[in-house]
Amino acid sequence: MRFHRLLRRGLCLFLCTALSCTASAYAIADISEFSTRSQQLQQQQEELDRQLDQAREDATEQLQLQQALQAKIDNLQEQIDLLNTTISTCNKQIVEKEAQIRVQQEEIDQDYEILGQRIRAIYMAGEASTLEIILGAKDFNDFIDKAYLVESISSFDAKIIDKLSQKLHAVTAEKTALEEEKAVVSQSKTELEKNYKELDALKQECDEVLSRLQKTQEELEDQLQKNSAEQEALSEELAQWHKQYVQENGGILGNGSGGANGYIWPAPECNVITSYWGDSRNHQGMDFACNGSAYGKPIIAAQSGTVIRANATDSWGSGWGYYVMLDHGGGYSTLYAHCSVLVVEPGQAVQQGEIIGYIGNTGNSYGAHLHFECWFNGQRYDPASELF
């Protein structure tokens, strides 16, 4: 039940005992400030995670909306192209019909001229009626000739009038067709203008969506940068604190030898290395996991030393979650992060191979594993140089 007691004592015990060999006022003030900043960073990280999830959800919805708008825009563009083709065809037909009407009008004018000439000829012959012309014949032959002449004139005039009537009817029909074509064109233009307005509105809406998406991404990136800078500053402060801690304690506080090539595998039941030093994330350590679940597997001291930090209360713990830091003397130290449970406390001496905690998934972790770091005089270095 010893680790339960340690969990209850937590950070308060650590604040009181971590730097028992140094000036306590300085140590407690520094560690308290670090702990407060660590908690603030945890809250910021949790809020950032929430906002990140929301931003991703919003981005997905906005992308779907953008795709839907683009589909509508493409459809409207096809309709506009079709209307443009229709309008072009109508305009061409209108020009052709206007030309036909002009030709027919010229023919009608000519027919009017011929009819006018016939009327003038009849007028010049006198105002006698057809009967008077026939009765004025000198003899029967003259009568037949005059009757035939009257009939021919009447037939010719009838043909002219009939032809004129047909052409006038055709012109009227052409004008009616032209007016109908113009009405169709006008309606097409109205629809085109309406579609243009709809297209413009959709474009504006799409621009607004893209603007919101860009703004969300920019805000998220800005928050990520700020959080990263905060983490870096906190990590640097811890490094400086550790360096000064070692210097003020003469560089020899642990009861192990420390130094290169003296460490053993810190996760004896987990032989899978999932992340090495300095990968694409600028990883500042080495991660250990198992082929199966690593949760609850033991973590042992890679080298004998003294516990200088044991965070068992802050589940974020500067991103490390529950973690232990051991001083091995000579400026060397190791850190064991993302633990589920710690079984050591600050100031406690541990032997190489002794269990100090168990693998977990606390802090900035996305699966149970051990994050292992090697430090020298406040600076991290590649753990591979100690383990291989």
What's the CATH number where 369 sits? 2.70.70.10
Distance CA 290, CA 296 (A): 11
Q: Is residue 39 part of a domain?
A: no
Do both 276 and 210 map to the same domain? no
Long-range contacts of 35-38 (CB under 8 A, 24+ apart): 35/11, 35/314, 37/234, 37/237, 38/234, 38/314, 38/316, 38/317, 38/318
Q: Is residue 281 part of a domain?
A: yes
Do both 199 and 256 map to the same domain? no
* Residue that terminates a domain, selected from 170, 201, 217: 217
What's the CATH number where 149 sits? 1.10.287.1490
* Residue that terminates a domain, selected from 200, 217, 234: 217
Boundaries of domain holding 377: 2-21+251-387
Do both 156 and 268 map to the same domain? no
* Residue that terminates a domain, selected from 193, 217, 241: 217
Nearest residue to 114 (alpha-carbon basis) of 155, 164, 151:
164
Q: Is residue 371 part of a domain?
A: yes
For the chain, what is the domain count? 2
Q: Is residue 55 part of a domain?
A: no
pLDDT confidence of residue 41 = 62
Do both 185 and 80 map to the same domain? yes
Q: Is residue 307 part of a domain?
A: yes
Q: Is residue 284 part of a domain?
A: yes
Distance CA 324, CA 326 (A): 7
Do both 277 and 329 map to the same domain? yes
Do both 164 and 298 map to the same domain? no
First to last CA, the chain: 36
pLDDT confidence of residue 353 = 93
Do both 294 and 343 map to the same domain? yes
Do both 117 and 16 map to the same domain? no
Do both 91 and 176 map to the same domain? yes
pLDDT confidence of residue 12 = 34
Do both 259 and 365 map to the same domain? yes
Whole-angstrom CA distances from 381 to 260, 270, 366, 375, 376 are 11, 22, 23, 6, 7
Task: Give the strand pairing for 370-376 and 379-381.
Answer: antiparallel
Q: Is residue 59 part of a domain?
A: no
pLDDT confidence of residue 301 = 95
Do both 154 and 270 map to the same domain? no
Which residue has 């802050």 as its token pair? 314
Which residue has 């200088």 as its token pair? 308
pLDDT confidence of residue 79 = 75
pLDDT confidence of residue 13 = 30
Distance CA 1, CA 343 (A): 10
pLDDT confidence of residue 124 = 66
Q: Is residue 280 part of a domain?
A: yes
Walk along the chain (388 residues) in steps of 10 and give the mean pLDDT of each run. 32 33 37 56 69 76 76 76 76 75 74 67 57 58 60 64 70 76 76 76 76 77 74 65 60 40 87 80 85 88 93 80 92 93 92 93 88 91 86
Contact 367, 375 (CB under 8 A): no
Dihedral sign computed on CA atoms, order 13, 15, 20, 21 = positive
Do both 11 and 75 map to the same domain? no
